[in-house]
Amino acid sequence: MRTDTLRDFRVPVNEPGPYAPPADRTAERASDRPGETDGYGDYPVYFDDHVPAQPHAVHPAYASKPSGHPLAGPGAPTGYPDPQTVPRQRTATAHADDRPDEHVVDHAVDHPLEPDDGYTPTQRDLPVIGRVAPIGGPGDTVQVHYVPEEQAPAGPGPLYVVGDVHGYLDELVTELHAQRLIDADGHWSAGNARLWFLGDFTDRGPDGIGVIDLVMRLSAEAAAAGGYCKALMGNHELLLIGAKRFGDTPIHSNAGTATFQAAWLLNGGQRTDMERLEDVHLQWMSRLDAATLEDGHLLLHSDTTAYLDYGDSIEDVNDTIHELLNRNDADITWDLFRKFTKRFAFRDEGGPQAVRELLDTYGGARVVHGHSPIPYLLGEVGAEDGDESRGPEAVDGPHVYAEGLAIAMDGGVTMAGKLLVVQLPLSD
C-alpha cells in the first residue's frame, strides 16, 4: 500500500508568519556551505493513520521466559549501572491528525533545482510503505552475562557500525545476530569487538525504548567481555529529549512559533515510547557524544558540516553539545535539533570538499554517517515515471560516495529498506 508522503520534518506553528527573533538573541548563522539543507523540510514523515494497531510480535530473544530462566523478569537485573525494570505495556499509537487544530508550515521547495537560502531539497519524495507498528506485549528484563577476565581477548577487536534503527527492534536483533555480535538469546557474543550505533534509536518504528534498552544492556555486556558497544547522538534523540523536557513550550524559530511536542508527533513520535521513557533513558541520551574517530573513520550521525559550529576538535564538539544540553533551555535545544536535522552536505558537486573540510578539522580518511536514507540520497525512490526498480528493497549495503570519502549507513528501514550493520573498513 502506498500513501502520500508528507514533506520532510514538518514544523507545527501556532502563529504563522515570518520569524522575528527576540531582541536579546543574535541572528542565527545562515548556512554558508553549498549543497547543505538548512532547517526543516528535509525528512519524510513515515506513519499512516489508516494502519490498524496490531499485537506486538515479540522477538524470540525477548519473549517471556519460564520461571527460573536466567532471562526471566521482573526481578532480573538489566546490567545497566542503574538497574530498573522498564514497563512494556503500551497504548495505541498517536498521529499528527489527532490534533486537527494545529497548522503546519511546510518548507518544501516547488522546484528541486532552485535551492533557497542554502537549502538543497531532494528531487523526489519517498514513498510510504504501509508497515504496521506493533502495539502491546509483555514486559521483561534481561540479565547481563559477564565473561571472566581471563577469557577476554587482548587488544582491540573488529569494528562494526549500525545505521538508523528508528524503533525497529526485531530487525536490529536479526542483523546483530547475523553478524554474530549477539547470540540467539540476545546477549553479546562478539568478545572484544567494537560496535558503534550512529544514532536515531526512536520514532517511526514500534519500539524505540526497547532499542535503547538493548543498546544500554549490550554496552555493559560488551565491556565485560573486553569489547565495547557505544552510540552517537542523532537528531531524533534531541527531538525526544526536547519533547519530554519542554512539551508544548512555545519556541520562536524561523518557521514561526513551534513546539517540541508537536514536532515530535509530526515526525514519527510514538506515544508508547513517551509513556515508557524514564530518567535513565534521558540521562543516557543526553550524555551521548556527537562524533568520534575510529580506525581512520570519522563517525557522525548527520551528513552535515554543522559540527564545525561547535568546535575545532572532536572533544570540543562533544563537550560543547553536552554543555548546551545541560542548560535545559528550549530555544538552545531546538537550535541543536535544527542544525543536526540538516542533510546532503556531501552530495552533489560540492560534496567532496565538504567532507574534506570535516576530515581536515577532525581527522580521519572517511566520514561514516546515518541520517539520510540511501534511497533518498540516490534519488531513486518515488520517480515521477513510476519506475520503482531500484526502490528501498534494492538497498543491500552502505552507499560510498563523494569521491569515496563518505559512507552512508541509513538503509531506509522505515521505508521497508534494510537496517545496516556492517564491519569497517569496507572491502571496496
pLDDT, one tens digit for every residue, the chain (428 residues): 433 433 344 445 444 433 333 344 334 444 445 455 444 434 433 333 333 334 444 444 444 333 333 333 333 333 333 433 333 333 333 333 443 343 333 333 333 333 333 333 333 333 333 333 343 444 444 444 554 544 545 678 999 999 999 999 999 999 999 999 999 999 999 999 999 999 999 999 999 999 999 999 999 999 999 999 999 999 999 999 999 999 999 998 776 779 999 999 999 999 999 999 999 999 999 999 999 999 999 999 999 999 999 999 999 999 999 999 999 999 999 999 999 999 999 999 999 999 999 999 999 999 999 999 999 998 866 433 444 444 555 788 999 999 999 999 999 999 878 999 999 999 86
Angle among Cα 352, 45, 279 to the nearest 5 degrees reads: 95
pTM: 0.69
Cα 363 to Cα 30, 207, 291, 295, distances in angstroms: 25, 35, 11, 10
Instruction: Tell me if 380 sits within 8 A of 417, measured CB to CB.
Output: no
Give dist(CA 155, CA 322) in Å, integer. Answer: 30
Buried b (16+ CB within 10 A) or exposed e, 79-96: bbeeeeebebebeebbbb
Can you read off the three cell numbers belonging to residue 131? 508497515
Give dist(CA 201, CA 209) in Å, integer. Answer: 8
Phi and psi torsions of 188, nearest 5°: -55, 130
